[in-house]
Structure 1
């Protein structure tokens, strides 16, 4: 139509009128539905300039956060969902409801008896990026390998300075930080920078094996929990539980985009 985004929003909200040519383009693009839209469709009532008391109804689907499952490795995506399908076997991709979110899968893999919806458009998103900090290289390496199977990209660091060097340029979506990095060195400076300098509330999990052996460590970490809303996992951490926890946080984003 050659309109700016702000102008389009004002027209759809009724703050500005539509010309005859613009209404014709809307008819061409969206058609004239004969039946009420499903609950996931946004309805726009467009005033008719020639008949101010009458309205034209335009239907437009809205994007949803979803998970794309074409292989064993999930991927976040944005989904434009259409009508419910009578048969999904011939569809390349379909959308199904899973828990409180949407999943996009091949039509041939549609679960029997589950409602399946047409995929109007699906846009894959980059993998979630998280940082793992530990002075023992085996721990970040293990986290990296396991998280990769869940579609999560992990950058491993062995000292606070190298982590902060990257964070200042490109922050991560979540952090798994060993508390005691070296003698008299903790991950507190990294936590302070993320929460205070960057004003970020992304998930931060502290790993520690010293809660039961050093009282000062327990009080210091308690201070981090109170001040910065971090979570704590004791070593040796069960990585399968850790990866599922972060998967639920990073992939299951409720609602529309």
Structure 2
């Protein structure tokens, strides 16, 4: 039996959080939900953490919900899946999208159902070439959750999102890259090396500015051009007041590598 459903490794300015139920393809149960949120809370509370890698142990990233963990109520009525989403998956996706530093997902093997959409909620997604993304919900009569109906059309367009959701066909890592669903497909044996290298780089960059980029891009699809221009003005004002902006300008003028701290003020 695994010691913990989530493993945390701390690097210099970054962390790796590993889903750790490999015998269940890292499918979510209540214990893993709690452990993952605790790990994310701890990373957020650490002022030295400026980037995060999320990955899975064993031969898969995450198979979604562990269906065996959902208990039927005593009178035989079906479970309230909306309550599960409200209590566990929605807070998790909201947390990932609001972390004060960039997130990298390293997808190894299968990412199915909620597992696929939690991966896609991260800022930058790398996948091993053997990885597959599956919107498996329709196979059991459900709809994509964990932000899937919001994320997929933004990444691949409505036509592909509709087919992926209705047909539940696997998407290979290379096709996911070609479609713009993920950033990059890499050789399996290089996946974690590439993810750690990316996290180490992000941990040296202007953290506040990177998070403001996320905010701007997240808002862009629902804004008019005028609204987005106003948001860019406001976020640029905020970015321009950070110590990292001042350091970036000094380093540019002095022709040296900047030493960003990630501090707000």
Provide TM-score, normalisation by structure 2.
0.20
- Structure in which a larger fraction of residues adopt helix: 2
Provide TM-score, normalisation by structure 1.
0.20
Larger radius of gyration: 1
- Structure in which a larger fraction of residues adopt strand: 1
